[in-house]
Amino acid sequence: MAEQMPTHLILLAAGEGTRMQSDTPKVLHEIAGAPLFEHALMSAAALGGRRVIVVGHGGTQVAAAAQAVDPEILVAEQAEQLGTAHAVAQAASALEGAGGDTVMLYGDTPFIKPETLARMQAMREDGADIVFLGFEAADPGRYGRMVTEGDTLTRIVEFKDATEDERAITLCNSGVVMAGTETLLRLAAAVGNDNATGEFYLTDIPALGAAEGLVTKVATCDEAETLGINTRDDLAAAEAVFQDAARAEALTNGVTLQSPDTVHFSADTVIGRDAIIEPYVVFGPGVTVESGARIRAFSHLEGAHVGARAVIGPYARLRPGAELSNDTRVGNFVEIKNAQIGDGAKVNHLSYIGDAGVGARTNIGAGTITCNYDGVFKHRTEIGSDVFIGSNTMLVAPVTVGDEAMTATGGVVTMDVPAGDMALARARQVNKPGFARKLFSRLRAAKAAKKG
């Protein structure tokens, strides 16, 4: 059996997106914490071929963002946006000698399912030379119309160039197309621009292909998959679609959401079975929550890992690099950043733990702060296992507290505390007998004199 050829990807991302009313290139606007183009890359993640992004407006910025997400992505420039065929043709040198098939997706169309692309691949294997993805449009509007004969696509006519009869067709072009790499690039380069807009239409390739005896077929998908983002309205609607799907998936996977509509997920959020998520919780990018953990109301998590059976919040903030082991407890108004909290350790109230390690079973008292920043550099605080940090302790990093040590309440700890020791780092208390009563009467007398 012949080895299966890879399918390469051309991702169009050169358009300006004028209707977004934005200084940010359209494909960098985010859904669920990931830029639009990244959603399209995720759709194509299983294809295994080369990936080429075609950039134009804001090209430097888009290329940098794409390479940050996918270091192997190839960038092709389309200096002037002369149409979708012209855009595809710009990917030719990046795909030189690539062979196999290529699929073209739009960077502003985030919901194409991997299964849909797999169906298109199957149609290619069954002998279709070109496969376009179409859908039955509820409101065909300005979409390109697909003209078919039996199950063959003879041509696509753009709305502006269509006759009344053609405009009555409801089978519309999503834009997505798959073909042999050589065929796609050759036909894209052969397209002319004699039409209502003077653009080079990729939708001309079925007709060009037919003239050389190539057969084009239509794969279909649900209209929801083809949702493209053109306005802030579209972006908000797409976010809602994404969030609904993410909530439904979490529920299916055995996560309790007490108030699903109030929980906000990122594209990469992973939550284990039997976790309980209370109302109004936000998962920023890069969060994993293990089984049986409970995230209490109004917590905000980002770049954090929450171990099994841990309890977070209410009102907790976990920032990037927060690593919470199993059975930990992070309470209200606590912020954790770039810190590892050991099994069963507790940070229950009003604390900031940043650039720190906290050992197993250690208890961090209320109002504790790791003073990690000296105005220029960040420093680490290392706290051992079974330690008791007294309330309102300032741990001035770099500093180490050994296993089974204690710090007394209200201390400013600037020196390392050896294992098993108690650090008393505050001024000794002095009581002045009767002094308060005397001071009160003097002050009250002064106030009465002022009024009189």
Shortest Å, Cβ 231 to ligand UD1: 12
Q: What mask of x and - would describe binding to ligand UD1 in positions 224 to 253, judged by CB under 6 A?
A: ----x-------------------------
400 binding ligand UD1? (CB under 6 A):
no
Q: Could you list the beta-strand ranges (E) of 264-326.
A: 270-271, 276-277, 282-283, 288-289, 294-295, 300-301, 304-306, 311-312, 316-318, 322-324
Q: What mask of x and - would describe binding to ligand UD1 in positions 11 to 30, judged by CB under 6 A?
A: -xxxx---------------
Q: Do 405 and 419 touch, CB atoms closer than 8 A?
A: yes
144 binding ligand UD1? (CB under 6 A):
yes
Total residues contacting Ca ion by CB under 5 A comes to 1
Choosing from 9, 41, 74, 87, the residue that interacts with ligand UD1 (CB under 6 A) is: 87
40 binding ligand UD1? (CB under 6 A):
no
Q: Do 185 and 205 touch, CB atoms closer than 8 A?
A: no
Peptide bond into 398 cis (omega under 30): yes
Residues 50-79 contacting ligand UD1, CB under 6 A = 54, 78
Q: What mask of x and - would describe binding to Ca ion in positions 224 to 253, judged by CB under 5 A?
A: ----x-------------------------
Closer residue to ligand UD1, CB minimum distance, 132 or 265: 132
Shortest Å, Cβ 228 to Ca ion: 5
207 binding ligand UD1? (CB under 6 A):
no
Pick the piece of the chain touching ligand UD1 (CB under 6 A) from 9-17, 270-278, 364-372, 380-388: 9-17
Q: Do 315 and 336 touch, CB atoms closer than 8 A?
A: no
108 binding ligand UD1? (CB under 6 A):
yes
DSSP 264: B
From CA 387, how far away is CA 403, in angstroms rounded?
6
From CA 160, how far away is CA 193, in angstroms rounded?
13
CA dihedral (388, 288, 53, 64) in degrees, to 10, reads: -10
Q: Which residues are catalytic?
A: 349
98 binding ligand UD1? (CB under 6 A):
no
DSSP line for 220-256: E--GGGGPPP-SHHHHHHHHHHHHHHHHHHHHHTT-E
Closer residue to ligand UD1, CB minimum distance, 35 or 83: 83
313 binding ligand UD1? (CB under 6 A):
no
Residues 77-106 contacting Ca ion, CB under 5 A = none
Overall residue count recorded for the chain in this entry:
452
From CA 155, how far away is CA 77, in angstroms rounded?
28
Choosing from 135, 201, 242, 265, the residue that interacts with ligand UD1 (CB under 6 A) is: 201
Helices and strands per DSSP (H, E), number in the chain: 9, 35
Q: Choosing among ligand UD1, Ca ion, none, which partner's interface includes residue 11 (Cβ < 5 to 8 Å by kind)?
A: none
Q: Choosing among Ca ion, ligand UD1, none, which partner's interface includes residue 78 (Cβ < 5 to 8 Å by kind)?
A: ligand UD1
Q: Do 133 and 221 touch, CB atoms closer than 8 A?
A: yes
Q: Choosing among Ca ion, ligand UD1, none, which partner's interface includes residue 108 (Cβ < 5 to 8 Å by kind)?
A: ligand UD1
- Please tell me the chain's helix, strand, coil percentages from 3-state DSSP, rounded to the nearest 5: 25, 30, 45
Closer residue to Ca ion, CB minimum distance, 26 or 296: 26
Cα-only R_g, the chain: 31
Pick the piece of the chain touching Ca ion (CB under 5 A) from 22-30, 154-162, 220-228, 325-333: 220-228
Phi-psi region of 254 (alpha: psi -120 to 50; beta: other; left: phi over 0): left
Using CB under 5 A, list all residues that contact Ca ion.
228
Using CB under 6 A, list all residues that contact ligand UD1.
12-15, 54, 78, 81-84, 86-87, 106-108, 143-144, 156, 158, 172-175, 201-203, 228
